[in-house]
Structure 1
């Protein structure tokens, strides 16, 4: 299967309501979509979603496109698309960093290979260990009353897990938000909090202790990503489990976190880890270290969500569910039939490749001109 063509399309899709995090308020997600085609006409698609530019990481949709078009596509054409691991290693050698760009290309290769032999990606990863993954909805609404109304509406639709975006406001305000949400949804709904690196060590300790009465499942990334020692120290000082996200992008990061101890959960994201293979490596390290995993998101369309879902289905330590809600928050999609949800979970995809079919006419609606 020789690669004949690699194309990148930039697009922007609004969210249905502003999404407020510690580092930005999101009004639209920026995308780089990658299409890889072989000489015999098989196509695979990948996606990198970026949150309003280089905000979550150093990459933007524009940098992803430039990296692929200038530094990956020229040598990828003519290569054997079935050699995913050798191509992954060569991308890593030729392109330092830039995991979102590398992930989008690798994603397209997995899609292409699954389609070529007629099996879903999760089967290529060893098979699925679950048929559905519990779904967490992120509460990130600036207006407190609107946030409560959103939580009520989601509970009525079957959602039983909420992650509350924190650290954009003072600790007392966040604690009050969490108190009101807990009171509104009741004791049987799971709550988590995500600071997105928004606190320093003393603020994180104060904040987490203020949130402890509301029975949180975990607090995600309370301190800056470089402060692994601080995160371990905080994890040992509070009763709420701590999850590493921005601090855990590579297998090396996962090893360092496991050695330091304290942290209980690793967040998996395909784009921060340069693709499916890097993400599965982190999951294996978590499993060996006795840690749980959770599959996060960058608010992808059904295309990127499908890729993340195959990992969530196949990685054994994903015991904390996922937040693959992107298609529910975005104002539009790029596939013919979106991923499916039921009873507070996202359902397995069993079609060939990623299991979704890109509709290029729908993609064109959101493409930059």
Structure 2
């Protein structure tokens, strides 16, 4: 049945969608976030989907190797991987951010493998009449919990390309608490993460204290994105030990995290110092990190994420998932893989509540009690809204952004901002 099918066409459509003025250690989000929608069409007319990074370097990688799957069966995942590894060559000009491993050129191969694998799994599910989670061994949970992802933010972008979002300013402890309450009211989240590394640690700790007082019992996380020096992270530990669920990437490097671990009762979490299997080997041996945030987009796909989960179980590490600005195809892919992992011990990160637009039929993915239900329809369980795809592609053509640059955007607000880390 499926072996006779061949992948007959590959389409890559870059899109841009509105993204809020969200602050982080590297600067501030630009008004437009970039993604690429990948379609693999089979010889019988089915279409498998995936969503990946949409910056210019990633589009160049996709252009290099997108045709390697032509003529393959959707089930030929190993052959696809071999062809990708043979085809991908270095791409110049990437702007790399330490806080965003998906921007690293060294991950071009796993990023491309992931983009093609998800679409091929979508096709496989459609062929056999099963959701992707069943191709991954079956679900261990019916719905996947996600965490409210709070950001310090301005009320609107400095260049005002469109009307301000409904969230308003988020700078003070009171505003951060209001942001959390609104997000919980809208989506039902049962844990909270704040993107830190923006203001002096005392201010960010005050925000966590305010959240703890306003929302007692909800697990809290703070992610300074390695923007605190080791002495600063150590000094902050006693106050945070009583507040947090885990302490995520406060200070740079595995050695720094290992030293910090001696000074805190909290488990240390990362999506920065362990982003490859080689880094996993070193990190596990050090014993410094106790919670790993995976990301199928740059680890190399859904199957590798399952392997990573088994390694975490072997080394007694907790597991969650990292997020970047994304739309519903990525959210649903995350949900399928997370539903197949028994030892997913923490709610997953997602930027999705910050995104207002969508490219799938039916509109925005729904959260119920802070979780996304696992689709039961074949494949990923989503289809493209081609009218919206065309509109978001037109926004890409018009917006002028071709690769994410939070530093350059921040310089529009503060010309003296350097983005150097650790800053505190």
Tell me, yes or no, whether TM beats 0.5: yes
Q: CA deviation at 1:97?
A: 3.1
Post-superposition offset of 1:298: 1.4
1:209 is aligned to 2:238 = yes
Aligned-residue offset at 1:334: 0.6
Could you say if the C-alpha distance between residues 207 and 167 of structure 1 is closer, same or farther in structure 2, counting changes exceeding 3 Å?
farther
Q: Contact conserved, 1:194 with 1:221, CA < 8 A, in 2?
A: yes
Q: Aligned in 2, Cα 1:183/1:350: closer, same or farther, shift over 3 Å?
A: same
> Deviation string for 1:49-95 (max 9, x for gaps)?
4xxxxxxxxxx62211111112x123321222211133124323433
Of 194, 217, 221, 2:249 maps to: 221
Partner of 2:417: none
Q: Deviations over 1:203-226 (max 9, x none)?
A: 22223334223x2001112233xx
> What is the CA distance between 1:325 and its match in structure 2?
4.6
Q: Does the alignment pair 1:330 with 2:330?
A: no
1:137 aligned partner: 148
1:32–1:62: 8 Å Cα contact kept in structure 2?
no
Is the contact between residue 339 and residue 356 of structure 1 (CA under 8 Å) also seen in structure 2? no
Q: Is the aligned partner of 1:28 residue 2:39?
A: no
**Structure 2 counterpart of 1:3, from 7, 16, 40:** 7
Shift of 1:314: 0.5
- SS of corresponding position for 2:221: strand
Matches within 5 A, 1:256-267: 256-267=282-293
Q: Does the CA-based 8 Å contact 2:149-2:350 persist in structure 1?
A: no
Determine if the alignment matches structure 1 residue 236 to structure 2 residue 265: no
Could you tell me which runs of 5 or more consecutive residues in structure 2 were left unpaired when the two chains were aligned: 89-105, 154-170, 398-424
CA distance in 1, matches of 2:139, 2:255: 35
8 Å contact kept, 1:137–1:323? yes
Q: Distance in 2 between matches of 1:127 and 1:208?
A: 40
Please say if residues 291 and 317 of structure 1, whose CA atoms lie closer than 8 Å, have aligned partners that are also in contact. Answer: no
Alpha-carbon distance in structure 1 between the residues aligned to 2:113 and 2:250: 27
Write the mapping of 1:1-369 to structure 2, written as runs, cut at 5 A: 1-15=5-19, 17-26=20-29, 27-49=31-53, 61-70=55-64, 72-95=65-88, 97-98=107-108, 99-142=110-153, 143-144=171-172, 145-157=174-186, 158-185=188-215, 187-213=216-242, 215-224=243-252, 227-326=253-352, 328-337=353-362, 338-367=364-393, 368-369=396-397
**What is the alpha-carbon root mean square deviation over aligned residues?**
1.8
Aligned residues: 352
For residues 253 and 350 of structure 1, do their structure 2 counterparts lie closer, same or farther at Cα, with a shift above 3 Å needed? Answer: farther
Q: TM-score, normalised by structure 2?
A: 0.79
Answer yes or no: is the 8 Å Cα contact 1:136–1:160 preserved in 2.
yes
Higher relative CO (Cα under 8 Å, sequence separation at least 6) belongs to 2
1:287/1:316 contact within 8 Å kept:
no
Q: Is the 8 A contact 2:107 2:298 kept in 1?
A: no
Is the contact made by 1:255 and 1:285 (CA closer than 8 Å) also made in structure 2?
no
Structure in which a larger fraction of residues adopt strand: 1
Runs of 4+, deviation exceeding 6 Å: none
1:35, CA displacement in angstroms? 0.9
Any conservation in 2 of the 1:162–1:192 contact (CA below 8 Å)? Answer: yes
Q: Deviations over 1:27-47 (max 9, x none)?
A: 332101111112221211111
Supply the distance in 2 between the matched residues of 1:259 and 1:192 (Cα, whole angstroms). Answer: 25
**Deviation string, structure 1 residues 337-365 (Cα, Å, up to 9, x no partner):** 34331112222122111111111111111
User: SS of the counterpart of 1:320?
Assistant: coil
Please say which structure displays the higher CA radius of gyration: 2
Shift of 1:330: 0.6
1:220-278: CA deviation from partner (whole Å, max 9, x where unpaired) = 12233xx2222122123211111121222222322222111131111011112021122
Aligned counterparts of 2:236 and 2:11: Cα–Cα separation in 1 = 46
> What's the TM-score once normalised by structure 1's chain length?
0.90
Contact 1:101–1:274 (8 Å) recurs in 2: yes
- DSSP 3-state at the match of 1:230: helix
